[in-house]
Amino acid sequence: MKLGMTALCLLGAGLLSGQTTAGQKPLMAEEAFQNVKVLKGIPVSEFMATMGFFSASLGENCTFCHVDQSAGSWARYADDNAHKQTARRMIDMVTALNRSYFNGRRVVTCYSCHRGSESPRVTPDLAELYGPPLLAEPDQIAPDPGAPSAETILNKYIEAIGGIQRLSGLTSFVAKGSYQAYADTVKRTVDIYAKAPAQRTTIAHTGNGDSTTTYDGRGGWTATPQTDRPVPLLPLSGAELEGAKLDAELTFPARIRQSLSEWRVGFPGNINDRDVQVLQGMTAGRSPVKLYFDKENGLLVRQVRYTDSPVGRNPTQIDYSDYRDVAGVKMPFRWTVTCLDGPSTIELTEVQPNVPVDATRFARPAAPAPRGN
Q: Are 23 and 6 in contact (CB under 8 A)?
A: no
What tens digit of pLDDT does each residue of 218-270 get? 999 989 887 777 888 888 877 678 888 888 999 999 999 999 999 999 999 99
Average pLDDT value for the chain: 87
What tens digit of pLDDT does each residue of 21-78 get? 555 678 899 998 899 999 999 888 888 888 889 988 998 888 888 888 777 778 888 8
The CA-atom distances, in angstroms, between 83 and each of 54, 58, 67, 93, 122 are 12, 12, 9, 15, 20
What's the number of domains the chain is made of? Answer: 1
Q: What is the 3 state secondary structure string of 205-244?
A: EECCEEEEEEECCCCEEEECCCCCCCCCEEECEHHHHHHH
CB atoms within 10 A of CB 89: 10
What tens digit of pLDDT does each residue of 82-96 get? 999 999 999 999 999
H helix or E strand, kind and range, residue 269: strand 269-271
The CA-atom distances, in angstroms, between 353 and each of 79, 157, 324, 350 are 50, 20, 13, 10
In percent, the amount of the chain with pLDDT more than 70 equals 91
Residue 258 contacts by C-beta under 8 Å, 6 or more apart in sequence? Answer: none
What tens digit of pLDDT does each residue of 299-343 get? 999 999 888 888 988 888 999 999 999 999 999 999 999 988 788
| Residue 275 CA, distance from chain mean position | 25
What tens digit of pLDDT does each residue of 201-215 get? 999 998 888 999 999
Helices 238-251, 44-58: axis angle to 10 degrees equals 90
Q: The CATH number of the domain where 168 resides is what?
A: 2.50.20.10
Write the DSSP string, 94-113.
HHHHHHHHSTT-----HHHH
The residue segments making up the domain with residue 145 are 1-373
Is the pLDDT score of 3 beyond 50? no
Query: What is residue 76's predicted lDDT score, i.e. its pLDDT?
Result: 87
| Residue 241 CA, distance from chain mean position | 11
